[in-house]
Structure 1
Amino acid sequence: MRNLSILLVGLAALIALPHALSFSQQEILVFLVINVLLVTSYRLLTLTGEWSLGHVVIMGVGAYASALYTKELGIYVPVSMILGAVTAALLAVLLSFPLFRMKGFYFLIGSFAAGEIIRLIWKRFREPFGGVRGISGIDPMPDFSIGIYQFDFFEPVSYYYFAGAIVIASLWVLWRIEKSPVGLTFHAVHWQDKLAQASGVNLRAYRTLAFAIASGFAGLAGALQGHYVGTVNPNSFDIEVMVFVLTWAIVGGTQTFYGPILGCIVLTVLNEIVLREMGLEQARPLIYGAIMILSILFLPNGLESLVQKATRRKPVAKPEEKAAT
């Protein structure tokens, strides 16, 4: 009952939040919601012990694919978003054949190379990818109404509600996957790969599965972003953006489901409120780098460790111990 009450209060706060913000802050909130899905999907991949530098490019694959499905084939936008996510997942399966011949540091570098090849293809071919300028004039999410509420997706509040519903549903699916036998096997592949293999687990198949699922949800995040902004280009998915995702995950922590989400929210608030007000937004890569180093040195388990300490229940003293005191 207590958990249900907390959930209802949290949902009420999320619904009311955009109405307490300015227009520019509402737009930031939309991107924050999308980035929460991006960084949470990235965590699913790290469960198998592999860290990628191409996850943001995979997000771009979903954005480009959904944009092309609507512009070139006239597919209804919500359907094109799903197809964009599926396209990103299928590409991840193809990339898994060369990439999962590598592990650890070599996988990290291989994923970066694969991402840069994809970005060069986008830049090189004006048809259909639009070259360096990318694709503009992407069809927006069509307006609709539920009861008395009219969803106008040119307004950030409406898109926040739409994206928020999609992201909450996606987070629930990702959480269920992690708690399922498949998710437990992902952990085993990371921490006890030899034992898991000896038990009959196909390590490569499970790494590929984690890569495909994570990429599918990253592609969905890209589709949500592309149809909101109305344009996609290769520079929106470069290594600088990937470093931000890494920072969110490391600073927040990856041992819990909520760790990367916490890192994303805290660092976004830091950037949009503190750095922007101080005129230091251009120094964000430098400041993010310093935050990552300090986090590794002084908070190796991330912000999630602070939450765990704060919520840890103190042991109740036994009656004889109380009497002794």
Structure 2
Amino acid sequence: MANLIENKINNLEGIKEKNIETTEKISGQSLDIVKENILKLKEIFPEVFCEDKIDFERLQDVLGNYIDDKEERYRFEWYGKSQAIRMAQTPSRGTLRPFREESKNWDTTENLYIEGDNLEVLKLLQKSYQNKIKMIYIDPPYNTGNDFVYKDDYKDNLQNYFEVTGQVDDDGNKTSTNSESSGRYHTNWLNMMYPRLRLARNLLKDDGVIFISIDDNEFGNLKKVCDDIFGEDNFLGNIVRATGQTTGQDSGGLGSSFDYVLAYTKISGVDLSGLPLTEHDLKRFDNEDERGKYAYDQMRKTGSNDRREDRPNMYYSIKDPDGNDIYPIAAAGYESCWRFRKKNI
């Protein structure tokens, strides 16, 4: 009789576990990021938990000298940052719907194209792609005054939200932008960017990299907010890109011909070792030593203005590996010149 009761209890427990698993699978919410963060903290510091709550006094004791309790401290703050953090952590109830009729190679493609608000999409991707993305590139609004409509709140459907907040007219046309006359011009941009960057970081693998395009308008703010989210030690560098046109020359300052791509990684120590050599590269870099492939290059100036009298400061001797003085002498026998000054050789 005891065994029969025990078996029934076990069966009930199995049904309960199965129902819980099913409920989780069909949940209409995106990943609960707050819950995930608490579970991670519990793995690292189980001793700071009292049942399911965090004892901050114990956490302070554990962290010791790493706690900064001063009123003034170095940090990047703006109006609405706390709300932006909560927005990143609020689960989405949206759903991704497939469109077979608009797709190509549905059964065999390895690509996925998603159309929708990027904040909601980033939330929906958390369950399936958290810690799985190798590289992210984003080209956000540069905040030129008319390139995005703010602000975010998607408890209701997007179109209805735009109507309630007066961002669209009766015909559905957008009527408001983040104009420079706004008292919170940069603040609005930061509140738009912050939750999206936090969610993007969650998607990256440990050795994943994110590249973000920007121009002078918000470069400084983007660098600070990325240092805040990714950590300044994980800043890989800044790629300067020539735009092909100069703007701002009539502003009284310097004209700008460039924009930028900031590169961050999720954890420190990621090595961007470059791309493999192409067949064309291999033909040129046809020598190899313990450091890798290399090519010989011409150090003597050739073509026009290649004589010593043309560039006298480019005429000097260079010691070869055997200690001999080598001068730039052209094949025709006349004194030529080097391509580099002596201090740069």
TM-score of the aligned structures, taking structure 1 as reference length = 0.20
Per residue, is there more helix in 1 or in 2? 1
- Greater relative contact order structure (CA < 8 Å, 6+ sep): 1
Larger radius of gyration: 2
Per residue, is there more strand in 1 or in 2? 2
TM-score of the aligned structures, taking structure 2 as reference length = 0.19
